[in-house]
Structure 1
């Protein structure tokens, strides 16, 4: 969140490491002292090999190289270099020491007392580009005379569709991230030089001291793996984060003694008090609390009775108990120790927290202040016991800074809100809450985050990193669900009616999940003090369920406090768009639209940038057209690139640098204009609250409306990450986190008002962003093709609140045929409009085309449900569902294997209470399954080939018996009309033929 930090420039980038259960691949090259004793290296100069196998350097010229290591470079596969070394205790603070280097690729040197500088060299036109070097130059004084662990990593980021490609570069000391920087459009020079250890380079001397291990990885190495290696080496001291300390020996001895004789909530209390000691707690108060607890343990007390006795017998801590939770609080106030020590989930008999939680950080003027800054004090006030928990306020103070946290425990739900006042300097950033969640009771833990549709990160606490900016395509919802295979879950979210810009960061390591929410404070200037209060509230709630259940907790907020949450059906949306079935992508001169309209026997939508020549004929057949516009970039023209004719390029350059452009685009904190790269050239990003950019947006869309050819407009990049603007002439506060959303909502509202004159005009945005849900008709979610995907967004917004209108199939990178089927089926079962595949994908007369026709007619008959329903939890089956792994293409970042169930399904409840379940077999193999149906009532089953629905009681639900690519639909309730009509349609399915072979006529 720091203004100079790279995360303000990479915006929607989300960093997610692979979280598979497989062991990480070993290093490509390594030197281990205990194993090699000098072997495997070319050792030169004064370097000696000690009896332990260490490489000993005395500072004179010399070093060691890995012979044949010239082939290892930083590539899109990633890179990592890890080293265990020891600097002399007598090293001079001014000494320049070479650590490791690869000529014209990277180098790491000690830079006097400031730690290290790690430099990476790019290439330009195939040559070394020293002017473009990226240097990670920060840190603190290195420890002398003891073993330390040094690591640097390179992680490739490929989001070409959003103009973001480059590397994340990081370096660590003893597991502490010292520097992180994103290098956009950075292409490393592929040096043929061998990797050298300890040689002098770039003005430094040789290494001084000992080197024990060096590991070189031809892949990205995540932070959790680095920490695991440090923990496995008894010589190394893992970095102790600020706000933590080594526990007092007396406390450790007493907790060990008491813990041996207690279980359940009693054992939890002992561990919580021990953790309080490690979190800067008041040691005398902790010892007193431990002794009081030990005395209370002598009787077999219920948690409620124990709390009364414990609270009366010591004054350092307070236990609050309700039927679902126990919370341990500091009682008298404190300094840098956290006021909320831990929470106990009575259902799972386990701790919810594993470290400092509900922590905060503020940027005040040019200083960072957090809840463990030395000199800070706090007091607990306004404590009120309630029937189902308690409410209380924590008031922190440091000099003239006052920070207020308001908390409320109700059953399984703890809410919190933070505000602060600074009279002398402005508060411009804040992080709250910063949480440390404990590993769940089960063996395997999973985190769900709203990356695109929703993504699962399995075994997250063993190693994972996710970052995203909300609201945007890469963090579509501001909450996470964290659960295990026993469905013990913790929901953590920021429920904010303002929908302001937030950064959400998740890190899993050492059996914990660390979650942080951050945002900004808009200011009039950077000289006056101010007050801020976070909008909405942070929520922690534990639950029983999985990712779907976490979404339903957030849905309670949407239904009660979010004015952007649309109701279903969307009667404000043009009928042709709301009832859309299929979207096709085709060329301007596609000759087969009329035939496909006849074959499918229903109208479809064409999405493209140029109108077909036979547009009037298509209109007469009910076919509607949707066009493209980019509403983020200033006068974006996709035909312009670095290879354009000079006349065109000069015009682009003049427009991008004109005074009117610079006056109406996003100005960043450093004064530079924000831009993104497309076709290898930068395009400026407009500010949606700047009058000049508003005028451009209005004129652009009105040009399409007045032209009369297009009935829909696809707003490219509408859902890309909000950017903070610091231009004082745009009418908004500097760095206002609500400005971006507010500006585009105003534009979308203006667009919708044009329907009075152009009633057929509809609009949707690229990807998905809930901030605009009430102001748009839908979202073209073409990038919902990620691995480990779940329909989290659809579970909240599908069913008619908005329309989801497309996937990429084989647009830029081809996938396999099975993936094509799975994408199509997933769209259908999740209540989406299907397609955005190219017409050429169904030129062959085969089963693809038949499946498209079947699913289109199913959606047509079920629109009464798909446009007026809420998604219900997915069914469980008595048998283990087979899983299909298929290669999903579409994005330029490459095809990826995605796992999906063989039978995809979904369950819906219409506004009138009637329910629907749809099933599709995505495989060419038949399957029989037994659903566990929790719904009660009349069950009407429609099957392919059957002219009438089968009527049963839901208690007697039969097996699913699905042929290859077969469908089946179940209705539960008193709806007789839809099943009867659908059965007549499904009776025709066996008669569907592929039709004729198609060509493009060329």
Structure 2
């Protein structure tokens, strides 16, 4: 335990520090403010003071009032590595009643500060409603030296964030900057990278609870408002205790932030089914399937014969992400999808014989409010976002108003459970749940649903129990089933097997999710669009998108132009995709279920190239992106071996030298950055430096169509490997193991 906490009070300011970092608070007329957050001896991360906390209350008459901290000076208590501020008898605005608020700073053994807030002695007719804590205004300059890391979908590193974080337009209309978790963001962390250091900010909430990471760039004042808040359960007269918020003043980039978060994430509720390679979560038949073919419409390109032709060309197991299996229009009639189109059950059986596993689309998140059943029962199952009963309304492609439904509502759960059971009874091995992971969770205040009204953990607990019920009951039909969801949201990992992880086409995307969870959760897809196949200005777009999702360890999926169209109109790209699919199968230990290590920086050897990507369905203009001509990733599995994956996305062979850091080099880097002696002793721990110290064995592999080529290339892990990556090919270098590689049985 770290007991070296220094508490110092000068005038109205209170400094709480240790050898790693600290905060400075200031007592003002309006209450306690946060004025500094910095590493020991470092530069303040904050631009201006912000209130330390804000708390909104509600009573049984649905009256809302804030706790008014003006004029309240906290009592300060110090205990070892912890400092507690207690604000006693804080008035509930415009009432004669009050509550106590405590804020605790704990300096843990990981060089982090844990921030917690509690509210106690709450009057019997009042409850906490919303807690804003801790709020910060981060100092940011308009410069490429600043990067803001956000887990939007798989992850985005916004270089020069005041300029590049989306604002205005649909962002403003939908309040996307509010970033509800999950939906707005997929994981509970952010990071601000400056020229010489990094601020890590996260909620290490393993349950989890409803929360919103409100952040917004402010160019005028050169700052990013970071004002997270949590909607709480309505429990009159009961104490409130927050989950821990975490700050770490450290060094690094998006990958370092990912590794800090990973240590917490592997203790959370959603990772408790274990890593993929143990086989207790996702069956190996799905792990070894490289292609999730999108069947989005009916008609030419989407018929059974087209799917079979795709399978015959690629010659690998496939899953068919199958839309329009029902007679009603898309985005209409939810949740009453049946009846199916004619002979759908026969289609499922016919494709299964060809190793094409149908994964139909269903939607347990929202309901069509134009249905006659809406006023006859469904309406009572909707999420009531406010105590007044306001609903969460959405409008999709057919222009119909939809309502977000509460996963704790008994009738809704029964309807959507029966829908899922009927699908599995028809013989499918896979089922795709639309909207759930990608959609913003809402507090639900309906007292007649099977949860405590309000926010808190009930939304996620309801979905966990729903998905578990579906899995348990459906196992009577299929023992090795898989379930997937739209978008990316870590709480749903517990009972879903894969996320459609390609919703974001942002050119600044980074594999943040994979760096944390790749060996625990699968992902598929990267949105590709028809203009990228038909418009010459997008030459190389589909090829580079497929290469990137492959390099980041994702299954291929969500291509708006069907694979059969790519085979016909762009045979070279189709051949490239086939090549990658076979490399995937032969190296599934790494690419499907390995742990992602830090990718190599090849910028000293290669110059970036430019491609134009479409970002949406009808994007005929596109966005220019910069990519390295050879994409790379590094993976490790439990036997200690490491695979270096190199993909050449150009028409010319490229010679490069690739080298992994040795433990000695890593130790020197740590010492140069001022690491403590205790930290350097962790050098030989696989958790920190998983590459074996003396790795000289090496296997260089590539796949030429269906023939695997194995050769020894020049070099070793100590001096580096000299390798030529052929045009439009992938090379895998396996280091440090005598294991025979191939597909799991």
| TM-score class normalised by the smaller sequence | 0.7 to 0.9
Residues 343 and 628 of structure 1: CA distance in aligned 2, closer, same or farther (over 3 Å): closer
Structure 1 residue 327 displacement after superposition: 4.3
Which residue of 484, 490, 497 corresponds with 1:764?
484
Q: Is the 8 A contact 1:763 1:777 kept in 2?
A: yes
Structure 1 residue 321 displacement after superposition: 4.8
Q: Distance in 2 between matches of 1:695 and 1:731?
A: 13
Q: Which residue of 1 aligns with 2:365?
A: 632
Which residue of 608, 612, 618 corresponds with 2:322?
608
Structure 1 residue 491 displacement after superposition: 0.5
Residues 817 and 889 of structure 1: CA distance in aligned 2, closer, same or farther (over 3 Å): farther
Q: Which residue of 1 aligns with 2:30?
A: 336
Structure 1 residue 767 displacement after superposition: 0.9
Which residue of 600, 603, 622 corresponds with 1:875?
600
Q: Distance in 2 between matches of 1:766 and 1:561?
A: 22
Q: Distance in 2 between matches of 1:376 and 1:883?
A: 60
Residues 561 and 452 of structure 1: CA distance in aligned 2, closer, same or farther (over 3 Å): closer
Q: Aligned ranges for residues 748-827 of structure 1 at < 5 Å? A: 748-753=467-472, 754-799=474-519, 801-810=520-529, 816-827=538-549
Q: Distance in 2 between matches of 1:354 and 1:405?
A: 22
SS at match of 1:467: helix
Question: CA offsets per residue over residues 855-911 of structure 1, 9 Å max, x none?
Answer: 011110111223442111111233354143322345457744444332211111112
The answer for unaligned runs of 5 or more in structure 1 is 1-303, 637-651, 983-1002
Structure 1 residue 463 displacement after superposition: 8.0
Q: Which residue of 2 aligns with 1:940?
A: 698
Question: CA offsets per residue over residues 724-766 of structure 1, 9 Å max, x none?
Answer: 2221111322223323212111111011112144214321001
Q: Which residue of 2 aligns with 1:356?
A: 49
Q: Aligned ranges for residues 299-698 of structure 1 at < 5 Å? A: 317=13, 319-328=15-24, 336-338=30-32, 340-346=34-40, 349-356=42-49, 359-365=52-58, 366-369=63-66, 373=68, 375-386=70-81, 390-395=82-87, 397-399=89-91, 400-410=98-108, 412-421=111-120, 422-423=122-123, 425-439=126-140, 444-461=145-162, 464=165, 467-486=177-196, 488-509=197-218, 510-523=221-234, 528-534=236-242, 536-564=243-271, 566-569=273-276, 570-586=279-295, 587=298, 588-609=302-323, 610=325, 611=344, 615-634=348-367, 652-658=370-376, 660-669=377-386, 670-678=388-396, 679-698=398-417
Q: Is the 8 A contact 2:632 2:644 kept in 1?
A: yes
Residues 666 and 441 of structure 1: CA distance in aligned 2, closer, same or farther (over 3 Å): closer
Q: Aligned ranges for residues 193-208 of structure 1 at < 5 Å? A: none
Q: Is the 8 A contact 1:383 1:393 kept in 2?
A: no
Q: Is the 8 A contact 2:76 2:83 kept in 1?
A: no
Residues 750 and 817 of structure 1: CA distance in aligned 2, closer, same or farther (over 3 Å): farther
Q: Is the 8 A contact 1:941 1:951 kept in 2?
A: no
Structure 1 residue 572 displacement after superposition: 3.2
Q: Which residue of 2 aligns with 1:179?
A: none
Structure 1 residue 704 displacement after superposition: 0.9
Structure 1 residue 628 displacement after superposition: 0.7
Q: Is the 8 A contact 1:872 1:907 kept in 2?
A: yes
Q: Is the 8 A contact 1:885 1:897 kept in 2?
A: yes
Q: Is the 8 A contact 2:289 2:316 kept in 1?
A: no
User: Greater shift after overlay, 314-323 or 723-732?
Assistant: 314-323
Q: Is the 8 A contact 1:764 1:778 kept in 2?
A: yes
Q: Aligned ranges for residues 735-746 of structure 1 at < 5 Å? A: 735-746=454-465
Q: Which is greater in Rg? A: 1
Which residue of 427, 433, 437 corresponds with 1:715?
433
Structure 1 residue 566 displacement after superposition: 4.5
SS at match of 1:876: coil
Q: Is the 8 A contact 2:34 2:52 kept in 1?
A: no
Structure 1 residue 426 displacement after superposition: 2.5
Q: Is the 8 A contact 1:328 1:340 kept in 2?
A: yes
Q: Which has the higher contact order (CA 8 A, sep 6+)?
A: 2
Q: Does 1:847 align with 2:572?
A: yes
SS at match of 2:266: helix
Q: Is the 8 A contact 1:431 1:518 kept in 2?
A: yes
Structure 1 residue 350 displacement after superposition: 1.6
TM-score between both structures, scaled by the size of structure 2? 0.79
Q: Distance in 2 between matches of 1:625 and 1:787?
A: 32
The answer for unaligned runs of 5 or more in structure 2 is 92-97, 168-175, 326-343, 663-692
Q: Does 1:974 align with 2:669?
A: no
Residues 734 and 812 of structure 1: CA distance in aligned 2, closer, same or farther (over 3 Å): farther
Q: Aligned ranges for residues 856-875 of structure 1 at < 5 Å? A: 856-875=581-600
Residues 446 and 797 of structure 1: CA distance in aligned 2, closer, same or farther (over 3 Å): same
Residues 793 and 396 of structure 1: CA distance in aligned 2, closer, same or farther (over 3 Å): farther
